[in-house]
Amino acid sequence: MRRAIFVFWICLFILPRLSAQTLNDPNLFTNFSATGSLPTGMSFLNHYNTDFFVIEKNTGFVRARIGGVNSIVLDLPVNTLSERGGLGIAVDPNFMTNGHVYIYYSRDSSGSDSNLDANWTDNRLSRFTFNGTTLSNETVLQTFPRDAAQNNGPNHNGGPVRIGPDGKIWGATGDLNRNRAEQNNPAQAANSALTGGTYRFNLDGSIPVDNPFAGHANAAFHKWASYGNRNTFGMAFDPVTNDLWITENGPSSYDEINRVELGFNSGWNRVMGPISRTAFTPGDLVNLGAASTYSDPEFSFFNPVGITAIGFLYGSNWGPSYDNAVLVGDNNTGRLYLFRLNETRTGFALPGGVGLDDLVADNASEVNQVVFGTGFGVVTDIRVGPYGDVYVTSLSQGGIFRISAVPEPGTLLLAGAAGSAGAAWLWRQRQVRPRRAADLCS
């Protein structure tokens, strides 16, 4: 049996749900930890232990689990109509010295939580500082505001926030049903929707000078690393190549998984799925400058599954066979999907001769070839933790699943007897490739 270890966190995982979830690999098992109401994202405080923050959609709470103790460290006034709310969280790479945490949420003007459209002011990216017990001292870094001349949602808000390997803040916003340059409307090519792309900021909220459209005459475009997004719930950096990957929800057809280069145009609202299946060419899309490039998705679901979170499995304790794998979740079915990367890690190596050569799952039979697990509810985040376990946040089940390798006989007792120090020692003996601190904390 593959060498594996099991760290027995009694305080952290007390609600096993083995009967509710299934995984294709019998060498893996699942435990569950309830964290609160409708969690949308989590972020580890550091790469030395499993302390983490988790943000909730409708309460505006940010909860902390530190040393096995649960607490509410922040209560945001969130607008909860449709897809609005507390949507994303990322911890600063230097959190242990500066305490900075970045949060993306829908602000409610009432000062408390409400689902009244009139109370929504903006979606905003803010920085908070953790003092050991609370998050405070909000600094608003960027707003994606209400606009009287444009649609204002309330869906397609996006949400994920990450600190990239370049030390920049990356995040995604949906289009809020707007229709300007970011939505590839040629009649509005000079006018910004203010939403509908992947943004990239310095940690103080300023614009990096190497952003692809930092020199555009319209300053509203300066923040974009990419555009043409309909709505994005998943974002992850490949720990090996540093490439950014995102998921994108389609309308009645085509959910996408995309690898994002600076200047990438995802094609919405003229293109979802491969452009060859539409009546358009790349020349029909809005070009924001020399850096603008269109490329087809790395994979598409013809019938949308409500694609959500994405996470790379490199460095997990599942074993080296998963180092080239990507895990993806959804909203509609509670399933997890597994994809293997090609040798250059620029796309997927899919099963040949079974209908997936076109990089599109056109029917249920083709979808089933990439299904890896079931019963996980609405998946909103996927992370590899400090000891290599895979954490899957579930909005609908109100908590976080931890997926681990099945322990070897006797390992469970040894880890339990040794305590956390012994468990950490056992983990180090596996000599799994280390993950960067930025990957673990953001």
Rounded Cα gap, residues 433 and 435, in angstroms: 7
The percentage of the chain sitting over the pLDDT mark of 90, rounded to a whole number, equals 85
pLDDT digits (tens, 9 = 90+) for 362-379: 999 999 999 999 999 999
Residue 421 reports pLDDT greater than 90 = no
**265 in a domain, yes or no?**
no
Q: What is the average pLDDT across 73-97?
A: 98
Give the mean model confidence (pLDDT) for residues 99-107.
98
- pLDDT at residue 136, rounded to an integer: 98
Q: Is 273 domain-assigned?
A: no
pLDDT of residue 425: 33
Asked if the model's pLDDT at residue 66 lies above 60, the reply is: yes
Q: Is the pLDDT of residue 10 over 50?
A: no
Tell me the mean pLDDT in the region 83-108: 98
**Cα 13 from chain centroid?**
22
Residue 216 in any domain: the answer is no
Is residue 414 a part of any domain in this protein? Answer: yes
> What number is the average pLDDT over the span 109-133?
97
Q: Is residue 53, in this structure, part of any structural domain at all? A: no
**Mean pLDDT value across residues 26-44:** 95
Let me know the angle formed at the C-alpha of 360 by 354 and 361, rounded to the nearest 5 degrees: 65
| pLDDT value, residue 187 | 98
Whether the per-residue pLDDT at 414 is higher than 50: the answer is no
Q: What is the mean pLDDT of residues 415-436?
A: 41
| pLDDT of amino acid 418 | 41
Instruction: Give the pLDDT mean for 226-245.
Output: 98
More confident call, 20 vs 86: 86
Query: Which strand ranges, in their side-by-side order, compose the sheet holding 61-66?
Result: 39-44, 52-56, 61-66, 69-75
Low-confidence winner among 3-7, 100-104, 401-405 (lowest mean pLDDT): 3-7
Does pLDDT of 303 surpass 80?
A: yes
Question: Is residue 223's pLDDT more than 60?
Answer: yes
Is position 39 within any domain?
no
pLDDT for 354 equals 75
What pLDDT sits at residue 426? 43
Mean pLDDT of 127-137: 98
Residue 428: what pLDDT?
37
pLDDT for res 208: 98
User: What's the pLDDT tens digit per position in 45-61?
Assistant: 998 899 999 999 999 99
Q: Which comes out higher in pLDDT, residue 13 or 177?
A: 177
Taking residues 185-193, what's their average pLDDT? 98
Q: If you average pLDDT over every residue of the chain, what do you get?
A: 90
Res. 89: pLDDT tops 80: yes
Task: Please report the pLDDT score of residue 410 as a whole number.
Answer: 56
What mean pLDDT comes out for the span 316-324?
96
Overall number of domains in the chain:
1
Q: d(Cα 348, Cα 437) in Å, to the nearest integer? A: 26
Range in 109-118, 326-335, 398-407 the model is least confident about = 398-407
Sequence-ordered alpha helix ranges (H) in 196-338: none
Residue 422 has pLDDT above 90, yes or no: no
404, pLDDT greater than 90 = yes
Domain region containing 26: 1-34+305-442
The secondary structure of residue 277, as a DSSP letter, is G
pLDDT number for residue 47: 82
Q: Which pLDDT score is estimated for 407?
A: 77
Average pLDDT over residues 297-301: 98
| Residue 244 lies inside a defined structural domain of this protein | no
- Tell me what pLDDT residue 416 has: 46
Q: pLDDT grade, residue 408 (50/70/90)?
A: low
Query: Does residue 420 surpass a pLDDT of 50?
Result: no
Output 123-126 pairs: Cβ under 8 A, ≥24 positions apart: 123/84, 123/87, 123/157, 123/158, 123/173, 123/195, 125/161, 125/169, 125/171, 125/199, 125/201, 125/205, 126/102
E-assigned strands of 181-319?
A: 197-201, 224-227, 235-237, 244-248, 255-260, 264-265, 293-294, 299-301, 307-312
pLDDT tier for residue 215 given thresholds of 50, 70 and 90: very high
pTM as predicted: 0.89
Report the C-alpha gap between 236 and 214 in whole angstroms: 23
Mean pLDDT, residues 193-198: 98
- Cα–Cα dist 78/64, whole Å: 18
In a domain, 214, yes or no: no
Average pLDDT, integer, range 16-29: 79
Give residues with Cβ within 8 angstroms of 206, minimum separation 6. none
Strands 224-227 and 264-265: parallel
Res. 149: pLDDT tops 80: yes
